[in-house]
Structure 1
Amino acid sequence: MAAVKNRGLGRGLSALLADTPTPEVMRQASQVPISKIKPNSYQPRTRFSHDELDSLTESIRREGVLMPILLRPHGDGYELIAGERRWRASQAAGLKEIPAVVRDVGDLQALELAIIENEQRDDLTAIESARAYRRMMDEFGCTQQQVAEKVGVSRVQVSNLIRLLQLSPVIKEMIETRELSMGQARPLVGLSSHVAESLARLCISKGWSARQMEHEAKRAAKEPVAKAKQEPDADVVALQDELTRKLGLPVEIVCRKNGSGELRIAYTRPVELDGVLRKLRKN
């Protein structure tokens, strides 16, 4: 990847997240026992490609770890901040030690660095980014604007991503597996789960663009929601049946909440009403 955006980290930390180590980074690095390192508790990435790890493992077997990982002190060992793929692949390659730079950073900055490292490599899904931004807000009291400034994106981007967390688990899984992009999923926010999931499946099967999805979602939002049909009272049904038998025409009784109602008799020809009158007069 090309040069890393500074994102307010300072030259030293930005250099530690680059793809190629600078001489300064290499001077700061030392060999750290892999057994002393624990995973990053603030790692926003939840899925790691087995194929990518296998490829990196083979590369490390041939050439070693070219870029030091970033750690912070933790208990009698260290916690990862950046470089989890290199750490995992090094274990798979059978290494006992790994080059690392140790920095004493707090929890919030550890989360920021983990987000930035993954996002600059396009490793995070939209849902992983959204959860990480939400964690910055919930655990560290950041506003959306502060999150945006810390990770180097716009406030609108933060807001749009966090809104995706309102979607159903089914749709979030589609985003996690990259079947749906953020642009395709965003118009589904606010729709019922049933409608949103149906549109999401259609989007995947028909290859809709984000613009097409937005059009379909707007159209679905305008459609009236069918109200659940209320089950009629058993006594009312019995009375309707009795009147239908006695009058010889379909009868419907409409009951209102205030106690009033209507008695409806359906007929197809005026002569049928004469038959109703005769039966009523007879009784």
Structure 2
Amino acid sequence: MREFRQLETNVIHESSTNPRRSFSETGLDELTASVRRHGVLQPILVRPNGNGFVLIAGARRLRAAKLAGCESVPARVLDLDDAAADEATIIENLHREDIHPLDEGVSYQRLVSAGRTIEDIAAALGKSKGYVYQRISLTRLVPKVQDLLARDILPLIYALKIAVVPAEQQEEALTQCFRPLFRDEEARRDQLEPLAQLTAWIEKTVRLNPRSEDTQVLLPALAEQVESVEQERDASVIALSTLHFHTDKADPKPILAKSWKPAEGKDRCSHARPGVIVLGDGQGTFLQVCIAKKACEKHWGRPKPASSGPTPDQAEQAEARRQQEETWARQREEQERWRSELRPRAVRLIAERAAKLPWSPMLLRLLLEDIRPDELFLEVLGRPDRIAVKHYPRALAIALALRHSWQRHDLLTFSKRLGVKVTSKDLADTPAPPPADGEAPSAPARARKTPPRAER
């Protein structure tokens, strides 16, 4: 039964099998404005369902009519069963140019589940078999990848590459597509990486079957490369891996990178055998390799004789560690002796010798470079350029203890700047005098400030 009728909009229900899940708000607004002016010009397709009708095609027109306030729309009524109606809905919507690739893939998968072959679908829609298969592969993406694709954040070409990756590795593959620009999650914005980075990661990390339909359709370059290699090789070709570990429990496993070496050109040896890289970088490369570790001295060197003791290298490393530990112990011992014995002696010795030096402005400036003026016993004699130091040896000892006595080198350097000659020999030969006034020289008390005195 086929007939044209004017149907009320409230008795028409959208089909759950409609492949279109998203509609452009701008496009829907424009269509609504057109319906207000001219009405619905093209009939929608429906089929009877109980007391109402189920929409087969024309979801945008029906929504626009409802938004425009139309109480009825022109419709073409078709008497179809569920399977035929679903197929008609899908086919009609797939002819639209603005359908999202993910919705397209869901539609193709429904047709395949209903018994249609990929060849039939491609012929009915005027598409290639590869095009249909690519769209179907999008339905195998994990939800996170599908969401980014649906929101047009992830480009279609990237999604098709990820579709060949096993589901458990797809989120890891997704990390190869974006470069995080901000660490703050709230302000995070990602930049798309080059497609070559994702392709290289897949070839290096994911073990693909070059004969599978996924690889042949979605990665045709890799499939063609492997096919050309297979035409050259014979039954003795070795499966090789450029990785240093096995990624799964497949058997037989390819030979890992540490167990084979290239043997081509000048490096060719009598043990060379043909091999092909089936896993890792250079997947599909055909080359001659040597795997004779015990027999080939050219590639693997002479076998090392068995030894019960440590090798010369191990013995040398052990001796170097022992010497380093002795050096560290000696340095700790010297530092402890400096703190407990030599530092107090050096401070007092330099203070005594410096106290005998003739007074000069340069000597005062030297002291003021290293400590604050209020840490010295200063006395202003009327003008700022006339300054006298009271208790000069004591002030100098405080300055030394506060700023220069923690390291031997720093203290001796400062004594040289003062113009007094104190050497390591003096520290070793001169006994430490007893502390004055019961005060430890290594931690002198902070001097009290003497208020300035005006010149009389």
- Report TM bin, short chain: 0.5 to 0.7
Larger helix proportion of the pair: 1
- Report the CA distance between 1:225 and its aligned residue: 9.4
TM-score, normalised with respect to structure 1:
0.63
- Report the CA distance between 1:150 and its aligned residue: 3.5
- Report the CA distance between 1:219 and its aligned residue: 0.8
Q: Which of 8, 14, 36 does residue 61 from structure 1 map onto?
A: 36
Partner of 1:34: 9
Q: Which of 171, 175, 192 does residue 198 from structure 1 map onto?
A: 175
Partner of 2:103: 128
Partner of 1:220: 201
- Report the CA distance between 1:218 and its aligned residue: 2.4
Task: Tell me which amino acid in the other structure corresponds to 1:154.
Answer: S
Partner of 1:157: 131
Using a 3 Å threshold, how does the CA distance of structure 1 residues 127 and 271 change in structure 2: closer, same or farther?
same
Partner of 2:317: 269
Question: Aligned equivalents of 1:102 and 1:143: distance in 2?
Answer: 28
Using a 3 Å threshold, how does the CA distance of structure 1 residues 225 and 86 change in structure 2: closer, same or farther?
farther
- Report the CA distance between 1:111 and its aligned residue: 3.0
Q: Which runs of 4+ in 1 moved over 4 A?
A: 202-208, 223-228, 264-268, 272-275
Using a 3 Å threshold, how does the CA distance of structure 1 residues 226 and 201 change in structure 2: closer, same or farther?
farther
Q: How does 1:9-158 map to 2 (within 5 A)?
A: 29-138=4-113, 140-158=114-132
Q: Contact 1:127–1:161 (CA<8 Å) still a contact in 2?
A: yes
Using a 3 Å threshold, how does the CA distance of structure 1 residues 39 and 216 change in structure 2: closer, same or farther?
same
Question: Aligned equivalents of 2:102 and 2:244: distance in 1?
Answer: 29
Using a 3 Å threshold, how does the CA distance of structure 1 residues 270 and 207 change in structure 2: closer, same or farther?
closer
How many residue pairs match? The answer is: 209
Question: Aligned equivalents of 1:57 and 1:109: distance in 2?
Answer: 30
Q: Contact 1:38–1:79 (CA<8 Å) still a contact in 2?
A: yes
- Report the CA distance between 1:109 and its aligned residue: 3.5
Question: Aligned equivalents of 2:67 and 2:321: distance in 1?
Answer: 89
- Report the CA distance between 1:158 and its aligned residue: 1.7
DSSP-derived class of the 2:20 partner: coil
Q: Contact 1:72–1:78 (CA<8 Å) still a contact in 2?
A: yes
Superposed CA deviations along residues 190-213 of structure 1, whole A, max 9, x for unmatched, are 3322332113335995456xxx52
Superposed CA deviations along residues 31-57 of structure 1, whole A, max 9, x for unmatched, are 111122111232011112222222221
Partner of 2:163: 189
Using a 3 Å threshold, how does the CA distance of structure 1 residues 88 and 69 change in structure 2: closer, same or farther?
same
Residue identity over aligned pairs, in percent, reads 30
Partner of 1:3: none
Partner of 1:173: 147
Q: Contact 1:115–1:151 (CA<8 Å) still a contact in 2?
A: no
Q: Contact 2:95–2:125 (CA<8 Å) still a contact in 1?
A: no
- Report the CA distance between 1:76 and its aligned residue: 2.1
- Report the CA distance between 1:132 and its aligned residue: 1.3
Using a 3 Å threshold, how does the CA distance of structure 1 residues 115 and 270 change in structure 2: closer, same or farther?
same
Task: Tell me which amino acid in the other structure corresponds to 1:187.
Answer: K
Question: Aligned equivalents of 1:90 and 1:274: distance in 2?
Answer: 90
Question: Aligned equivalents of 1:76 and 1:104: distance in 2?
Answer: 14
Residue segments in structure 2 that go unaligned for 5+ positions in a row: 181-188, 206-242, 248-309, 324-456
Question: Aligned equivalents of 2:322 and 2:136: distance in 1?
Answer: 68
DSSP-derived class of the 2:153 partner: coil
Using a 3 Å threshold, how does the CA distance of structure 1 residues 148 and 119 change in structure 2: closer, same or farther?
same
Task: Tell me which amino acid in the other structure corresponds to 1:216.
Answer: Q
Report the aligned-residue RMSD.
3.3
DSSP-derived class of the 1:105 partner: coil
Using a 3 Å threshold, how does the CA distance of structure 1 residues 207 and 194 change in structure 2: closer, same or farther?
closer
Indicate the structure (1 or 2) with the bigger Cα radius of gyration.
2
Question: Aligned equivalents of 2:22 and 2:11: distance in 1?
Answer: 23
